[in-house]
Structure formats: C-alpha cells, structure tokens
Amino acid sequence: MKSLKFGVIGNPIKHSRSPEIHHHFADQQKIKISFGKYLVEAEDLENFLKDFFKTGNGLSVTLPLKKLALKLSNDSSAKAQMIGASNNLYKKGEIIVGDNTDCIGLTKDINQNLGFDLYGKEILVLGAGGAARGAAFGLQDLNPKTICIANRTLEKAQELTKDLSLYRQTSGKNSNLIASSFNSIQDEFHSFDCIINATSVSTLENDSLPINPSLFSNCALAYDLAYSQADTQFMIDAQNNGAQTVSDGWGMLVEQGAASFETWTGKLPKTNNLLALR
C-alpha cells in the first residue's frame, strides 16, 4: 500500500506531539504514513500549501495559522465556516478542503474523558482567536447556562460572541453569551464552574494571564488548551487559587487528531492508550 503523507504546521512547532499521535493511529489501523513538522510563517502559508499538497494528503494546523488556513482552502465544511478557523486541511480530488475538529476534540475530552457535565454551568473562555472560536462553538453544544468570552481587547471578544449568537439562533441553543475584557471579568461574575485558557500564554515561559486569581476559587475545572509534560502556568495558578481539577489539552489534541485522522483515511482510531499518557 502506498504511504500517505501528513503533517502539522504552525509557529512555534518544535513542541508538537502530533507526529507521535498520528503514527500511533496509523500503526493501530495498519496504514503506512509519513508525518512531518513544518515551521510556517503566515506570509509563506499559501505557497507552502500549494507545494505540500502536490503529494500530501492531510495537514493539522495549529497556532497562529487556523484562520488563514480556512481562508486559503478551496472549499470548507459548514463547521469550519461557522467557526471561522480550520485546524484540518485535506486533499479532495484537486482541491484543498478546510475542516475544524477542535470543537469535537474539546467537548469529547471534557464531557467523556474527564467526566464533566457542563449543562447549565457558567463557563469562562479566555481568548478570542482561532483556538477560542473552536472551543466556544463546541461548548455551546453542551448547553451551558453562560459562556463568557474574555480577551485583552474587548472588540475581539464582542466579535466572537456576535458569531456565537448567530449560531445560537440556527441551532436552538440558548446559552447566555457575554463579552468581556480581562480587566472587567470580575464586574460580570464572581466565579465560574469551568475556566478554559484558549490564549497562547502557556507557550511563553512562566507567564500568567492578567485575571483576578479569585476567579478560580469555586472553579470545578480549569482547562488549558495547551499541553505540556509539566503543568502550565495557567494550571499552577488555578490549582494554587482553589480550582478543584486542572487539566491540560492533551486529551483534546488526541481526540481532534482522531477526528482528523478519520477525515484523512476513513478510519476512526481508538484513543484510550494515548489518553493514558496524560
């Protein structure tokens, strides 16, 4: 059987464990693959995609290229269009298709793997970029009472809540949607059941978000979309200030990777062995 060519793109990219995950899936499904890590700048992405997909089959997309990846795809899934970002690109005939599996990965990890039911709960999402968009749209499907989007600049948070409102109208979901700057979160809420870090701060050494630590005091789950062998600074801050459970995004990475692998190969791999490495 011919080997399939996959990869992951982003900046930074050295830390990525996507090759490990997808080689595990490929061995499990008895499929021959190659999987590369590619450091790609935004201004080089268009040319990179044209070159890669001459022989390549699928790409995972990470920060900060998810919005641009969607824009540069020839076609896209309804989910990717709705979210406005793509973490999964694949070749279909002669065209490049953009998809988003981040939302599936996050909700499956929180709901099934970690066992947290977010129905009727208060959720805070920190950040309003491509990762936050995928997270927020997925979370809305779990029917929380409130989703508060907080960002350094209020305008970006407002833009995301506006898009979420449009989805709410078409999907029948009824979560309260609130936009906030980091500085004014405390004015809206005193605590949250679940706080999700969707910013890139955890890729920076020892950096903390400019939020009031008391927000963690009644938090059942503090979840960092970033993943690391050691606890991220966000996880440390949450634990030190009263969060009951903290988690990094390893489970999300594994689950979105499994969904992407299915898109690329038609086979949905099992994730339990990789999840045990959390």
3 state DSSP class of 178:
strand
Residue 263 CB neighbours (<10 A): 18
Q: Are 99 and 75 in contact (CB under 8 A)?
A: no
Alpha carbons 202 and 204: distance in angstroms, whole number: 5
How close are the terminal C-alpha atoms of the chain, in Å? Answer: 33
* Cross-strand partners of 38: 9
Q: Which tokens hold the place of 114? A: 């970690």
β-pairing, 58-61 vs 88-92, is antiparallel
Q: Are 63 and 13 in contact (CB under 8 A)?
A: no
Q: Give the relative orientation of helices 130-140 and 154-171 as an angle to the nearest 10 degrees.
A: 30
User: In 11-162, where do the E strands start and end?
Assistant: 33-39, 58-61, 75-76, 88-92, 95-99, 122-126, 146-151
β-pairing, 33-39 vs 4-10, is parallel
Q: Are 146 and 118 in contact (CB under 8 A)?
A: no
**Residues noted as catalytic:** 66
Alpha carbons 189 and 214: distance in angstroms, whole number: 11
